[in-house]
């Protein structure tokens, strides 16, 4: 019973992506399974449901002070490297003690625990912890929860915050946008000291595009319990149901590397936006507090220009009255942080067009023969005048063959339809195709 349930719930033991997709989340458990749905589902779970071999990624490298002159002098927000304090992104100064000034009323200061722990409970007067965040989209009322501290929750919590004092030199924050399929970022992502992913974004079968390593995976209650390989899972507890789900899982397997955000950190993230934040927004603010360099991949919230909302399924974003988050506002705030140099987008046109207001921009990271069409909103490189792009070859631009005539030379590189693709395919077959 336990093996069957584990396979259906977590995907453990399933051999292919097709098998995983059939069992989870499209099979026994609904894709849009809310807190009550998950609670009922968990009630069926045997106590040994979670993978007993689930453990954290040993390959991740937390930054440590070296033996140079600044050792021990970089405080809570930095680490010593070759005599200089390397600060996490949100802080600056000789000893990393000065919070940076952020745009749009956002603020950098956070001194508390990121992960909920028993030591934190010692500071509470009583058995109730109040949590409040910005309202859900379309509501004027703050989202408030009174969390009852039960004996089961006390036992489920770790003794301390495993992220307190942990910092990373380079961090890859990998979103779930289908834009990732247009690039081969896999090796680049895996080279980071810490790799963060979200919800059910898989690596298996997509390694060339998204990499194979995961250090931290941030999930909401809809995806509680899902993990892939050796990674630490962080869950949001923004409701009593979320608390119950977390308690259940930690009771099932108290040694699994699954932890919950401290309500104080959740309130900090919420204070930097006017509506209920998404998991992606949580991840960015965690990275700003724990990473020296933050590189973003797959943070594109639209499904257009042939780009799917997710790189791994056909789900579309929830809109209208059912939407809880303001994706447009979050994206605008992240783009301001990109403009101010706190974050770096790795997709070349997303980076080049951030804050361009539709004006012409240079794109040094674009493939040869391409440019960014910011005014059109196109998030991918497009052919420059004199070059064409073959359909299905998003990073390959070649000088216009004579057969394409004036439309190509004028910068209309996909006209006439299909002809550029045919020419490029022939060049490939002849061994004359080179793409940079």
Asked if residue 389 has pLDDT above 80, the reply is no
Query: What sign results for the dihedral spanned by CA atoms 227, 231, 237, 238?
Result: negative
Of residues 240 and 175, more confidence is placed in: 175
Tokens standing for residue 109? 């200061």
Q: What is the CATH number of the domain that holds 164?
A: 3.90.1480.20
Q: Would you state the pLDDT for residue 48?
A: 46
CB contact at 8 A, 240 and 246: no
Same domain, 152 and 272: yes
Mean pLDDT of the 372-400 span: 81
Tokens standing for residue 428? 């490939």
Domains identified in the chain, total number: 3
Same domain, 260 and 386: no
* 71 in a structural domain: no
Q: Which of 83-92, 121-130, 237-246 has the highest mean pLDDT?
A: 83-92
Same domain, 183 and 35: no
Q: Would you state the pLDDT for residue 33?
A: 61
pLDDT classification of 73: cutoffs 50, 70, 90: very high
* 235 in a structural domain: yes
Q: What pTM, to 2 d.p., does this model score?
A: 0.86
Asked if residue 3 has pLDDT above 50, the reply is no
Q: Would you state the pLDDT for residue 404?
A: 59
* 363 in a structural domain: no
**In the 8-state DSSP scheme, what is residue 115?**
B
Alpha-helical segments (H) within 35-179: 35-42, 118-121, 151-156
Same domain, 319 and 388: no
The pLDDT > 90 percentage for the chain reads: 44
Asked if residue 127 has pLDDT above 50, the reply is yes
Same domain, 269 and 309: yes
C-alpha closest to that of 248 among 222, 220, 216, 224: 224
Mean pLDDT of the 366-386 span: 86
pLDDT classification of 256: cutoffs 50, 70, 90: confident
Same domain, 196 and 325: yes
* CA 19, chain centre distance (Å): 25
Q: Would you state the pLDDT for residue 373?
A: 86
* 61 in a structural domain: no
What is the tens place of the pLDDT at every residue in 18-64? Answer: 444 333 433 334 455 665 666 666 666 554 455 666 766 655 678 99
- Give the SS3 label for residue 146: strand
Asked if residue 14 has pLDDT above 50, the reply is no
Of residues 194 and 28, more confidence is placed in: 194
Same domain, 218 and 123: yes
* 12 in a structural domain: yes
* 172 in a structural domain: yes
* 157 in a structural domain: yes
What is the tens place of the pLDDT at every residue in 143-178? Answer: 788 888 889 999 999 999 999 989 999 999 999 999
Q: Would you state the pLDDT for residue 111?
A: 95
Same domain, 188 and 284: yes
Same domain, 131 and 270: yes
pLDDT classification of 296: cutoffs 50, 70, 90: very high
* 158 in a structural domain: yes
CB contact at 8 A, 226 and 199: yes
Asked if residue 199 has pLDDT above 90, the reply is yes
Same domain, 243 and 340: yes
Residue-range definition of the domain harbouring residue 18: 2-42
Mean pLDDT of the 371-397 span: 81
Q: Would you state the pLDDT for residue 88?
A: 98
Same domain, 266 and 387: no
């Amino acid at each position: 019973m336990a093996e069957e349930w584990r396979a259906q719930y977590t995907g453990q033991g399933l051999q292919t992506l097709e098998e995983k997709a059939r069992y989870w989340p499209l099979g026994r458990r609904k894709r849009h399974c809310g807190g009550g749905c998950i609670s009922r589902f968990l009630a069926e779970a045997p106590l040994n449901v979670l993978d007993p071999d689930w453990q954290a990624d040993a390959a991740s490298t937390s930054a440590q002070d070296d033996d140079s002159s600044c050792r021990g002098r970089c405080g809570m927000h930095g680490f010593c490297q070759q005599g200089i304090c390397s600060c996490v992104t949100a802080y600056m100064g000789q000893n990393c003690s000065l919070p940076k000034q952020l745009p749009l009323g956002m603020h950098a200061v956070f001194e508390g625990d990121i992960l909920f722990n028993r030591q934190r409970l010692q500071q509470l007067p009583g058995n109730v912890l109040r949590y409040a965040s910005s309202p859900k989209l379309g509501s004027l009322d703050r989202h408030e929860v009174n969390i009852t501290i039960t004996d089961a929750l006390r036992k489920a919590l770790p003794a301390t915050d495993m992220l307190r004092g942990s910092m990373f030199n380079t961090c890859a924050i990998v979103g779930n946008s289908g834009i990732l399929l247009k690039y081969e970022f896999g090796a680049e992502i895996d080279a980071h000291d810490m790799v963060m992913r979200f919800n059910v974004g898989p690596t298996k079968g997509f390694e060339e595009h998204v990499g194979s390593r995961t250090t931290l995976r941030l999930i909401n209650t809809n995806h509680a319990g899902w993990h892939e390989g050796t990674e630490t899972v962080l869950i949001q507890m923004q409701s009593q149901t979320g608390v119950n789900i977390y308690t259940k899982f930690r009771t099932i397997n108290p040694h699994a590397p699954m932890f919950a955000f401290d309500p104080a950190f959740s309130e900090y993230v919420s204070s930097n936006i006017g509506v209920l934040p998404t998991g992606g927004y949580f991840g960015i603010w965690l990275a700003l507090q724990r990473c020296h360099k933050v590189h973003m991949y797959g943070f594109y919230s639209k499904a257009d220009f042939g780009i799917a909302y997710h790189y791994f399924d056909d789900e579309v974003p929830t809109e209208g009255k059912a939407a809880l988050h303001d994706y447009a506002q979050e994206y605008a705030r992240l783009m301001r942080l990109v403009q101010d140099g706190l974050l770096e987008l790795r997709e070349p046109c997303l980076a080049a067009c951030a804050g361009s207001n539709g004006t012409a921009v240079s794109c040094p990271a674009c493939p040869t023969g391409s440019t960014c069409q910011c005014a059109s909103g196109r998030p991918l490189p497009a052919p420059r005048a004199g070059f064409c792009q073959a359909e299905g070859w998003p990073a390959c631009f070649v000088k216009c063959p004579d057969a394409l005539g004036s439309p190509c030379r004028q910068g209309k590189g996909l006209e006439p339809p299909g002809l550029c693709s045919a020419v490029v395919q022939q060049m490939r077959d002849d061994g004359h195709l080179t793409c940079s």
